[in-house]
Amino acid sequence: MTITHAHPAQDKPVASRRAGLIERTITRLWMRPARIVGISRLSEKFRLFDFQGDALKGSAWSLGDKLQMKLDQGLAARTYTPIEWNQQAGATRFLAYCHGTGPGSVWAERAQVGDERQFFGPRASLDMSELKSPTVLFGDETSFGLALALQRTGKEGHFIFEVNDRDESASVLEEVGLRALLVPRHPDEAHLREVSEAILAFGQPSESNFVVTGKASSIQHVSRVLKTHGVEKSRLRAKVYWATGKTGLD
């Protein structure tokens, strides 16, 4: 009896075709196309995108929901927080932060008006629909979009962000009309003491709602401080957008 062993190199085309079939099936069944109708370059690292597509019409959206956008390679996607959502027009707007050389940043830097992308969502991410004023929101550059969405509801809000480049962030927030306290990051996270003091100065533990977002370790620190000062769980919402050394968080 002769046994023939398949060579790995011969299996690759089969695996590639199978992966391509899965990708096309998921895209067709679950994702919806939309085109870029506007791009505003707010700074070197920030882009404001406007998308529109008939497939987005009728989709429900709530404050804090996420929208996942498929990139060019396989089923890789990046998650964004819509600032605005027009259900009738099938239009949305979100802010992209180009903070490195990852595929999401590369896409944002190279994107052009007219480009089409596939979207999944919007879906629940951070439930803020029942938030009552006043609200204190802490985050970083990845949280600017959420803060803008909250501000557009007309609810009273105070915003505190830890940032890498204070001047750039201040310019961007001025451009989009958001007032916030910006605290420069320190490598040893010593700045989180100033952040925590500011959050407690803006909000009352027994009366305010607190939303903490962004970097995982910063969220842990701030949440711990708030709980120590008597903030009840019902008044605290948290959402990790990223963590050092990890990708794919939303």
Q: Which pLDDT tens digit goes with each residue over 31-66? A: 899 999 999 999 999 999 999 999 999 999 999 999
Q: What is the mean pLDDT of residues 183-209?
A: 95
Distance CA 133, CA 210 (A): 10
**In whole angstroms, how large is the CA radius of gyration of the chain?**
21
Homologous superfamily (CATH) of 33-123 is Translation factors (2.40.30.10)
Q: Taking the C-alpha atoms of 129, 154, 140 and 115 in order, what is their torsion angle to the nearest 10 degrees?
A: 80
110 pLDDT higher than 80? yes
pLDDT of residue 21: 52
CATH code assigned to 135-242 = 3.40.50.80
Query: pLDDT value at position 6?
Result: 44
135-242 and 33-123 share a CATH fold = no
pLDDT of residue 11: 56
Q: Report how far apart, in Å, the C-alpha atoms of 199 and of each of 71, 132, 137, 181 are.
A: 36, 17, 8, 10
Look at residue 122 and tell me whether its pLDDT is greater than 60: yes
Retrieve residue 128's tokens: 């803020």
- pLDDT of 242 reads 92
Which helix (H) or strand (E) segment holds residue 222: the answer is helix 216-228
- What integer is the mean pLDDT of 64-91? 91
3-state helix, strand, coil in the chain (%, to 5): 35, 30, 35
In tens, the pLDDT along 212-236 reads 999 999 999 999 999 999 999 999 9
- Report the b/e string of 220-232 with b at 16+ CB within 10 A: ebbbebbeeeebe
Which one, of 80, 46, 77, lies nearest residue 65 by Cα? 80
Give the pLDDT confidence of 131-177 residue by residue, as tens digits: 877 999 999 999 999 999 999 999 899 999 999 999 999 999 999 99
Phi-psi region at 190: left, alpha or beta (left = phi > 0; alpha = psi -120 to 50): alpha
Share of the chain above pLDDT 70, in %: 85
**Rounded Cα gap, residues 238 and 250, in angstroms:** 12
pLDDT for res 131: 81
Mean pLDDT of 89-106: 92
According to the model, what pLDDT value does residue 248 have? Answer: 58
Predicted confidence (pLDDT) per residue in 199-210, tens digit: 999 998 889 999
pLDDT at 250 over 70: no
pLDDT classification of 23: cutoffs 50, 70, 90: low
- Higher-confidence position of 237 and 26: 237
pLDDT score recorded for residue 57: 96
In this prediction, residue 133 carries a pLDDT of: 76
Domain chopping of the chain, boundaries: 33-123, 135-242
Tell me what the pLDDT averaged over the chain comes to.
88
Average pLDDT over residues 21-35: 68
